[in-house]
Amino acid sequence: MSNQKQLEEVQEELANINTKPIDLMALHHLIKNIDEILEKVSGEKKKELLRMIVEQIEITPTAEKRNHGRQKGREVTNIKLYFDFTPEAEKKLKGLLLKMAS
């Protein structure tokens, strides 16, 4: 397949992607109230919500030793969040949040 043909196919795919602007108010509300939301729900619902927004968590490879000899546990060094704003993901998230609120 020629490069021109591949380029045309990719451009067509990009043109067909259904996108819409990020709902910044909904995102702000979710982040601002995440602790309160998580306190109200069961363990399974917490896991489901966190799987929807946490892409990657990095932790220290080993535990550090403290000055007084006790080991300090491994620590989180970075959390990478992921927000999927496709209509399907937003519908799933809204449904989950509604279930959590009831």
Evaluate the CA torsion angle 30, 36, 42, 47 in order and state its sign: positive
Q: 6 versus 18: which is more confidently predicted?
A: 6
Determine contact, residues 52/84, Cβ cutoff 8 Å: yes
With 0.95 as the threshold, say if the pTM is over it. no
Confidence of residue 101 (pLDDT cuts 50, 70, 90): low
- Name the one residue in this structure whose structure tokens are 């397949």: 1
Give me the pLDDT at residue 78, please. 93
Q: How far is residue 27's CA from residue 23's CA, in Å, rounded to a whole number?
A: 6
Determine the average pLDDT of the residues in 82-98.
75
Confidence of residue 58 (pLDDT cuts 50, 70, 90): very high
- Name the one residue in this structure whose structure tokens are 């591949």: 6
Give me the pLDDT at residue 3, please. 79
pLDDT in tens, 8-44: 887 777 776 655 566 677 777 777 888 887 888 888 8
Determine contact, residues 96/44, Cβ cutoff 8 Å: no
